[in-house]
Amino acid sequence: MKPGKEAFIRYEGNRLIIRSIFNPEYVEELKSKTTTRKWNSEKKEWSVNISEKEKTLDILGRYFKVLEDTNPAENQAFDPQKMAKPGKGFAVQEGDKLEIWTDGACSGNPGGGGYAALLKNNGQVKEIAGGFAHTTNNRMEITAAIAALESLDKPCDITIYSDSKYLVDAVSLGWVKKWQANGWMRTKKDKAVNPDLWQKLLDLCAKHTVRFIWVKGHAANRENKRCDEIAEAITHLPDLPEDKGYRKEMG
């Protein structure tokens, strides 16, 4: 490799973006050894799915000095094999005003599911994600909100943005509390679905001041798009844990 030849990489959702000078040998090897590569003719950049990150970096290293981006957390790579777990670690003070974006995804519905949340507070950014092997999209939408709230150890003033009408309306319009008051019956004949998750969410909301706001999915909302990309990536992971609540509900 000649000195001065550098490749710059960054991450957008579940894509690794590559910018470098043209090298025909590198391009040929990238084409022959990766299956998710895409060429952006407008930006003059290659990209590959994060699942081929190690292979791609190995190829790049044979032709260039690889320099990684050091952008804030929301712009860095999401590696689904190292997904963040719900828990403590996001520094908050009592009464802090937080913004949280959440999303859930499911491949099959029921099928492999993923959820993601992006939290912002006074310049801090935290991503939380996870998934289950056999679940539903609605369960993942609720779980995303639960995971975000579980990561907070002090009562806060929170706005949660979600593209799920199911989640936002059920809480904002009081449906969930009505189902709870009726013994988790939606009507006199029909049971409410996902009572285990709704109960968790209500308990968590009682510790904070929480408002839910609906946002249009797959639109120009940067944070919503980020959560969508993460949740979708997780649905395809192998060896996801079982959603015991869903299995119990289905009998």
Catalytic residues: 103-104, 141, 163, 218, 228
Distance CA 176, CA 51 (A): 38
Distance CA 233, CA 99 (A): 23
Cα dist from 152 to 5, 97, 119, 209, whole Å: 45, 12, 10, 12
- CA torsion, ordered 141, 142, 145, 149, to nearest 10 deg: -160
Say if residue 80 is preceded by a cis peptide, omega within 30 of 0: no
- CA torsion, ordered 235, 238, 244, 247, to nearest 10 deg: 80
Closest to 26 measured CA to CA, from 56, 54, 63: 63
Distance CA 49, CA 190 (A): 43
